[in-house]
Amino acid sequence: PRPSAGRPAKPYRRSAADLDLQVPARRYDLAASLLAEAVDAVGGERELHASSRRAGRAAADEAMGPAPAASGAATTRRLFGALRGRGYEPYRSRDCIRLRNCPFHAVAEEYPPVICGMSQAFLDGVLEGFGDKELAATIDPRPGDCCVVIRRAPFV
């Protein structure tokens, strides 16, 4: 038998299409779009960012559990778990933590400043909740990834 005998390997890649199956149909995308439009119209980004930070800190508290992690590696695993649990799909890149998925993609395409700013504030809240003062969420758009990345905070 030849080493390459059998079926050829099938290459798979992530689809750009969103799949949303709900019975009965729900229109959370429409609600999110209307809310983003209202925030944009009234200039409510400051309030949205404050609310997003609080939600991020709550997500970190939930991921940390009753006792804080003993080591940096354990904290990183919990951070990645918290981000995965919110749909971000984190991965390590050369100089940062990138996010393969934007959980708010559909609305972010329609209202990028509002939604990307909200996502950045949420992630900053997560980092605050984990007590990490060395990392910060920044906007750095890249095709196929969330526009927010996590990097070492610049010295002030």
pLDDT tens readout for residues 34-51:
999 999 999 999 999 999
Among 156, 37, 54, which residue's Cα sits nearest to residue 107?
37
| Residue-level pLDDT at 76 | 83
d(CA 52, CA 121): 6
* Span 90-143, pLDDT tens digits: 999 988 999 999 999 989 999 999 999 999 999 999 999 998 888 999 999 998
Q: How many Cβ atoms sit within 10 Å of the Cβ of residue 38? A: 11
What is the tally of helices (H) and strands (E) in the chain? 5, 4
Predicted TM-score (pTM) of the model is: 0.82
Spatial CA neighbour of 55 closest among 27, 82, 89, 31: 82
Whether 156 shows a pLDDT value over 60: the answer reads: no
3-class DSSP state of 156: coil
Token duo for residue 111: 């209202």
Tens-digit pLDDT profile for residues 46-65: 999 999 999 999 999 998 87
Given pLDDT bands bounded at 50, 70 and 90, which one contains residue 24?
confident
Q: What percent of the chain has pLDDT over 90?
A: 60
